[in-house]
Amino acid sequence: MTTTTEVTNTANAALPLGLIGCGNMGSALARGILNNATLSKHFPLLVYDRNPEKMAALQELGAAPCFSMQEVAEKSQYMILAVKPAQMFGVLQTIKAYVTMEHVAISLAVGVTIAALDRGVERACAVVRLMPNTLVAAGHGHFGLCLDDPDLQDKQKKIVRYLFAYLGEVVELPENKMNAYGALAGCGPAYMYYMAEGLVDAGVNMGLSRAAARGIVLSLMEGSALLAKQTGQHISILREEVTSPGGTTIAATTSFDTAGVRGQLIQGVLAAFEKGKEFEQN
């Protein structure tokens, strides 16, 4: 990982970071940055959104509000563009006159390729594709990062890697894998919550209070993920360790298999993958 010293030596000072779009994902990223002492020191955050209330909520955490997208571009070299795919071209057209090759525009828009981003900004600055998930707000984000733009300088790549590595785990991917990453990790928190809802309802059906069932399930999911990461064991082995012959666990998993739960999970993620293709802008 790029070190703090490398970043500060490259920048010679704090690097203002711009955020255009303070919706769910933009705000999650902003909270992750503002709540991290190192990042908030080296990347003071400037934010813009058409909705002043969304900016005000982040201002309370330490962000500086801007009054236009142009102001964000003028005051920050690194900009996160957290807008919908249909809005991205308009944003790029708005900022293109205010950026140089020292700027980096970091797009969160699903399906908008590097080539489309370059056309939108008319190659006035370098561009990056980033696929985050909302867990970044809790300091446990996961990011798919595409640095395929040939206009990116090495120092810019280092700074981008540094920034997001402090917010969670980063996987660098070629552009043709970004949609798959989004279907699995970008949508992933919703899958986890969907399964958690079902487990909580099972607990309530068995007579547990909803609060108790919720606490049990959240602890269960957190602990299971932590054990898998710490041991490095194959997930199937970890499952088998809980599954005694003729016991209660095998009764449950056999029921899941009979109902096709595993296959339905796979089909659901593949449905997200296919839907992502509809958003692709080359």
Between CA 204 and CA 198 the distance in angstroms is 10
Q: How far is CA 183 from the centre of its chain?
A: 12
Right CATH number for 4-178 from 3.40.50.720, 3.40.50.620, 2.60.40.10, 3.90.1330.10? 3.40.50.720
Do 243 and 250 touch, CB atoms closer than 8 A?
Answer: yes
Q: What are phi and psi of 217, to 5 degrees?
A: -65, -45
Alpha-carbon separation of residue 251 from 163, 165, 261 (angstroms): 46, 41, 14
Which residue in 87, 89, 276, 98 sits closest to 178, CA to CA?
276
Architecture of domain 188-278: Orthogonal Bundle (1.10)
Q: Where are the domains positioned within the chain?
A: 4-178, 188-278
Beta bridge partners of 144: 131, 171
Between CA 166 and CA 146 the distance in angstroms is 17
pLDDT of residue 134: 82
Sequential pLDDT tens for the chain (282 residues) = 344 444 444 444 689 999 999 999 999 999 999 999 999 999 999 999 999 999 999 999 999 999 999 999 999 999 999 999 999 999 999 999 999 999 999 999 988 999 999 999 999 999 999 999 888 878 788 999 999 999 999 999 999 999 999 888 999 999 999 999 999 999 999 999 999 999 999 999 999 999 999 999 999 999 999 999 999 999 999 999 999 999 999 999 999 999 999 999 999 999 999 998 888 866
Between CA 105 and CA 99 the distance in angstroms is 9
